Amino acid sequence: MSQSKDMFFESVTKTFGATVALENFSLTVRSGELLTLLGPSGCGKTTALRIAAGFDRPDAGRILVGAIDITNQPAHRRQMGMVFQSYSLFPHLSVIDNVTFGLRMQRVAPNERRGRGLRMLELVRMDGLTDRLPHQLSGGQQQRVALARALATQPDVLLLDEPLSALDAKVRAEVRSEIRALTTRLGTTTIFVTHDQEEALGISDRICVMNRGIVEQVGSPIEIYDHPKSSFVAGFVGELNRIRLGGVDLVVRPEQVILNNCHTADTGGEIVATSFHGSFMRYQVRLDDGQAVTAIAKHTPGSGMRAGTRVTVKIGDEKNERPD
Amino acid sequence: MATVISRSKTPLWAWVVITLAAIFFILPMLAMARFAFQRVPVALLGRNTLFDRWTLDGLVDMFRDPDFRPALWLSLRISVLTVALTLLVMLPTALWVNVQAPRLRSMVETATLLPYVVPPIALVVGAGGAFRNLAPWFLRSDYCLVPFYAVLAMPFTFRSLDTGLRSIDLKTLIEASRSLGAPMPTTLLRIVVPNITSALSGTIFLTITVVLGEFTIASLLLKPTLPLYMSYSQGRNPQGALGLAVLLLALTTLLFFAATRLRRRGAERYTIRIGAMP
């Protein structure tokens, strides 16, 4: 395996016409880590990835891999592996030919090429389907082959552009853990782009939350979730209640809201809607003063409450400081 | 999980329409063939003489004509060059429209339609006037027809290529290939071209058809191409000229069927493989 390298975005700015996609964007991706660019659509995360890949040129700033400035290097000279949102396997090539295409470009001898391709396919558990054509594979299989293809050339950095968004929920979870396992095993520096905060929390070593072309916060998933630096981060990562209780403004995660069944109708409110999610239950509560609160409670048999139930509302643990 | 692509049955009325259309097109060709290959006076070409005196003499005479081969050879050379020029210009144009400037598609489409709007005679008179002053050697060369024909074929060739490129996820395929280390020319040759083969063969066929059928421009510029030769030799050897026309028709039809057969065989290979999936 090639030595994995740090990657740096240095004050990268990119505009498309009047739209600023990235503004003075600086970020260090550490060797071997999986860093997620997370943000709403239009936040610049895909632009950052495309600039890393060499598909777009920045207006200002530099991109470095290790100590080498690759800002002006064309895409095909960069050592980047990329997996795309849409299925991107070459339709006319078999699975093995797709995976070995990059090695072929590097003029690796045919025998060695095939061996390395097969090894990659084993890693993504696709070694039984080497001679299939892409259209004979399911979506999940196609993305696993795409992953193998991107990693076969042992790239400096692996770029993943919402690779799971075309897959259905179950396959998505499967491929997600596969990506994580594989990049950890190979020690590949990875940038993962997504707008799905749950995906980001689940897969990343670190998350870079972006909004309108700037970095809002960089940190581990737990840091981002527990100590959001801005109300944007707090609102975008995980769910958030903004309520005023006892004259104090509070920002509270739904799982910190504790509901108790109560028959004396003094403090609290009423459950207006419920939804069951298997391991947890989600309640929409309207407080007596009209404010809306969302609460999440772990589900145990017999614990569920119905819409219309009167409840008292308490805020659990200490974490109720307001960011900003 | 066996996926079977079933070919839907063609309804009866469709066959009726196809048959009528076939008769409409084939009868005149049969009449042409009889005129060309039967040594029977035209007035006597009826049902009774259907099998009388079939001969290839007219065609053989034509092949022996010293002017015939140069005309055929010229048209073939011009065909090849026109195909080359068309691919050289139109493929990058269609790629550019699809990858870089999808917003300019309607403009480019309109531009490629210009040959429909500008009559060939206007094209020749206009271009002729310009070139006579700027580069007189250009119009003297037989190959000056090549750019004219590439322009004439443009309405067909651009659309064929554009449709082919739009049917694949071009941008992603190009980017995937580039990120795997393939420079642009390699990407075009190894990734794009193999995925638009039917559009390419369509473009090539349409271009050849235009070259083999064009008369006005060749006539105005006095270039002895095959269509021109056929037209002139009609007076000297009407049977031979029509025989050649029939032959050309048959040849292009055969080519066309061969192309579709090839394409269908490719599709069947896919079907069988899918059917064999566990």
Average pLDDT, chain B: 84
pLDDT for res A119: 93
pLDDT band at B85 (very low <50, low <70, confident <90, very high): very high
- Establish if A73 touches chain B: CB-CB under 8 angstroms: no
User: Is residue A60 located within the same domain as residue A97?
Assistant: yes
Final residue before a domain boundary, out of A189, A217, A234: A234
Q: Do residues A306 and A211 share a domain?
A: no
* pLDDT tens sequence across B143-193: 989 999 999 999 989 998 998 899 889 999 999 999 999 999 999 999 999
Q: What percent of chain B has pLDDT over 90?
A: 29
* A residues 231-290 lying closer than 8 A (beta carbon) to B: none
Nearest Cα residue to A253 out of A279, A233, A276, A277 = A233
Burial call A265-289: b when 16+ CB within 10 Å, e when fewer: eeebbebeebeeeeeebbbbbebee
The shortest C-alpha distance from A216 to chain B (Å) reads 29
Distance of CA A276 to the CA centre of its chain: 25
Mean pLDDT of all residues in B103-123:
88
Query: Considering the domain boundaries, does residue A142 fall inside one?
Result: yes
Domain identity same for A225 and A283:
no
Q: What CATH number corresponds to the domain at position A250?
A: 2.40.50.140
| Option in B172, B181, B187 nearest A84 (CB) | B172
The domain of A105 spans 7-234
| Mean pLDDT on A59-76 | 93
User: Based on the structure, what is the number of domains in chain A?
Assistant: 2
Which is more confident, A324 or A32? A32
Answer whether residue A256 shows pLDDT above 80: yes
pLDDT at B265 over 60: no
Nearest to A136 among B178, B187, B277 (CB): B277
Structure confidence by residue, pLDDT tens digits, A262-278: 765 556 888 999 999 88
pLDDT-based confidence at residue A245 (cuts at 50, 70, 90): confident
Ordered structural domains, chain B, with CATH? 10-55 (no CATH), 66-269 (1.10.3720.10)
What residue type is B26 in one-letter code? I
pLDDT digits (tens, 9 = 90+) for B164-175: 899 889 999 999
| Chain A contact for B198 (CB, 8 A cutoff) | no
Mean of the pLDDT values across residues B196-208? 86
pLDDT computed for residue B1 by the predictor: 41
User: Which residue in this structure is represented by tokens 């020749």?
Assistant: B124
Q: Tell me the residue type at A210.
A: M
A154 to chain B, any CB pair closer than 8 A? The answer is no
B173 vs A81, A88, A150: nearest CB: A88
Interface touch B169/A86, C-beta < 8 Å: yes
Q: With 90 as the cut, is the pLDDT of residue B56 above it?
A: no
From CA A240, how far away is CA A257, in angstroms rounded?
10
Q: pLDDT of A97-119, one tens digit each?
A: 999 999 999 999 999 999 999 99
* Residues of B in Cβ contact (< 8 Å) with A86: 169, 172
How large is the ipTM? Answer: 0.83
Domain co-membership, A135 together with A264: no
Distance, CA of B213 to CA of B195 (rounded, Å): 29
Does residue A78 sit in the same domain as residue A145? yes
Residues A162 and A222 grouped into a single domain: yes
Q: Report the range of poorest mean pLDDT among A88-97, A177-186, A199-208, B242-251.
A: B242-251
Please state which of the ranges A47-61, A148-162, B236-250 shows the lowest mean pLDDT.
B236-250
Question: With an 8 Å Cβ cutoff, is A16 touching chain B?
Answer: no
Mutate to test the interface with A, among B99, B179, B271 (most CBs of A within 10 A): B179
Residue B7: the pLDDT is 53
Same domain (yes/no): A94, A206: yes
Residue A321 in any domain: the answer is no
A12 near A183, Cβ under 8 Å? no
Q: For residue A180, what pLDDT is reported?
A: 93
State whether A250 and A211 are in the same domain: no
Contact A102 B178 (CB under 8 A): no
Per the CB < 8 Å rule, is A78 touching B179?
yes
Distance CA(B202)–CA(A161), nearest Å, equals: 35
Is the CB of B191 inside 8 Å of chain A's CB atoms? yes
Segment B83-97 shows an average pLDDT of: 93
Asked if pLDDT for residue B269 goes beyond 80, the answer is: no
A322 is a domain residue: no
Mean pLDDT of the region A58-79: 93
* Residue of B175, B180, B274 lying closest to A105 (CB–CB): B180
How many angstroms away from the CA of A310 is the closest CA of chain B? 52
pLDDT band at residue A323, thresholds of 50, 70 and 90? very low
Query: What is the share, in percent, of chain B residues with pLDDT greater than 70?
Result: 90
